[in-house]
């Protein structure tokens, strides 16, 4: 199998999710879930996602669709890259095991399907503000926050590029 095909297999539809998650659970894997737009992949993302992966054995990323990014009011020109491009870039990271695109305003439906052992967001969120925290905790899972790497953000990269 060619490398690009392997990467594309890490990007799945929500309809395929339950089968994959169940297979991993059967094997005793610890599932970590996080989500975001990941519009311009940068060092801060790598730091955050690698630390998220360290919390378990399989890292699943819920990726905001193009339409859901637009609804987040991140700017009229966002996302800068298509959901397909963003998903492929994430899949290319060796520590990312699965990428699932979601179109809803929040990843709650996806979290309910995955039922991760660990739900992760940035430390700019309080645990009780994290979408899906109740679902994960009710199933005995953990909700964790990770500090962002100072000086790295998509917004600051865009601002610097436009000067």
100 in Cβ contact with 18 (< 8 Å): no
Collapse the DSSP code of 50 into the 3-class scheme (helix H, G, I; strand E, B; otherwise coil) and give the result. Answer: helix
**pLDDT tens digits for range 95-119:** 999 999 999 999 999 999 999 999 9
pLDDT in tens, 140-157: 999 999 998 877 777 777
Q: What is the pLDDT of residue 73?
A: 77
Token output for 33 = 């879930």
* DSSP three-state, residue 61: strand
Q: Report the candidate in 103, 95, 98 with the shortest Cα–Cα distance to residue 12.
A: 98
What is the domain-level CATH number for residue 20? 3.40.50.620
> Over the chain, what is the mean pLDDT?
93
Q: Among 46-50, 96-100, 159-163, which stretch is predicted with the lowest mean pLDDT?
A: 159-163
Using left for φ > 0, alpha for ψ between -120 and 50, and beta otherwise, residue 119 falls in: beta
Residue 16: domain span: 3-161
Three-state SS for 41? coil
Contact by Cβ (8 Å): 97, 30:
no
Q: Are 130 and 107 in contact (CB under 8 A)?
A: no
Domains: count for the chain:
1
Cβ-contact 74, 37 below 8 angstroms: yes
CB 32 within 8 A of CB 118: yes
pLDDT band at 74 (very low <50, low <70, confident <90, very high): confident
Sign, CA torsion 7/90/88/84: positive
């Amino acid at each position: 199998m060619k490398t690009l095909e392997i990467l594309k297999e890490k990007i799945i539809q929500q309809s395929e999710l339950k089968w994959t998650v169940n297979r991993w659970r059967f094997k005793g894997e610890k599932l970590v879930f996080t989500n975001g737009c990941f519009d311009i992949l940068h060092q801060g993302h790598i730091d955050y996602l690698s630390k998220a992966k360290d919390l378990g054995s399989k890292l699943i990323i819920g990726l905001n669709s193009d339409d859901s990014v637009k609804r987040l009011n991140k700017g009229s020109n966002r996302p800068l890259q298509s959901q397909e491009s963003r998903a492929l870039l994430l899949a290319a990271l060796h520590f990312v095991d699965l990428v699932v695109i979601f179109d809803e305003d929040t990843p709650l439906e996806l979290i309910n399907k995955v039922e991760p052992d660990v739900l992760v967001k940035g430390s700019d969120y309080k645990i009780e503000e994290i979408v899906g925290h109740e679902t994960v905790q009710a199933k005995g899972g953990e909700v964790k926050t990770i500090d962002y790497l100072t000086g790295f953000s998509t917004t600051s990269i865009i601002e610097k590029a436009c000067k």
